[in-house]
Chain A
């Protein structure tokens, strides 16, 4: 079974500051990794995903994440945040080999960008 730990439940930052949202996972097999964003009163939107290849993945809205296999981490970063980035962010994993593998989500990190 897989598990996901998001190390920070809340991250407050000031506008234009850099941010890192931390995600660690546990799995006995290879996994795909995802970051989703949920804006207030909306569903989930895929930010980026790591499937294979380059460990640095770029997503939408200027976000990027780096897969670190040795540390089993997939931290999300943005060099300069905007007020509009205020949202809940979810890290998720699924097993790589199984076509029907379900997504396992972390508990979420609330990013609040203050002016």
Chain B
């Protein structure tokens, strides 16, 4: 299995600022993902983080708002740009192991935008 850590674990930010969330996996993984979980709701996939190339975004999410990097196999960042209160959510990093049918999740970053 893979252990995923995220930093920061939580933050309170002002409207109009940006926050970068870091995700580190302790072992080799094939794919990395970023999800959003709005209060009381299920998980929504934001994008697939591709190593060394642009991320693949889901419908409704754009690179200007959620730029993503993945410089190597085990590390990725998600930036939430020009934040508004509607961005208040839990952001979860996820990774698929070498056994492609197993996906692991980080503890999440709890973001509150004032």
Measured CA separation A45–B104 after assembly (Å)? 7
Contact of B41 with A107 in the complex, beta carbons under 8 Å: yes
Which of the segments A19-27, A61-69, A94-102 contacts the partner chain? A94-102
Q: A42-B108, A43-B92 are in contact. Are A49 and B102 (CB under 8 A)?
A: yes
A46 interfacial contact with B, CB 8 Å: yes
Q: Which of A41, A51, A99, A103 contacts B103 (CB 8 A)?
A: A103
Contact of B43 with A105 in the complex, beta carbons under 8 Å: yes
Contact of A90 with B42 in the complex, beta carbons under 8 Å: yes
Q: How far is the CB of B93 from chain A (nearest CB, A)?
A: 9
Measured CA separation A100–B4 after assembly (Å)? 19
Q: Which of B42, B43, B103, B107 contacts A42 (CB 8 A)?
A: B107
- Closest A residue to B45 using CB positions: A102
CB-defined interface of B91-105 with A at 8 Å, one 1/0 digit per residue? 010000000111111
B77 interfacial contact with A, CB 8 Å: no
Measured CA separation A46–B97 after assembly (Å)? 13
- Closest B residue to A100 using CB positions: B31
B33 interfacial contact with A, CB 8 Å: yes
Q: A43-B92, A90-B43, A107-B41 are in contact. Are A49 and B105 (CB under 8 A)?
A: no
Measured CA separation A25–B33 after assembly (Å)? 22
28 A-B contacts, Cβ less than 8 Å apart? A34-B103, A36-B105, A41-B110, A42-B107, A43-B105, A43-B107, A43-B108, A44-B105, A46-B102, A46-B103, A49-B101, A51-B101, A90-B42, A90-B43, A94-B103, A99-B30, A100-B31, A100-B48, A102-B33, A102-B45, A102-B48, A103-B103, A105-B42, A105-B43, A106-B42, A107-B41, A108-B41, A108-B42
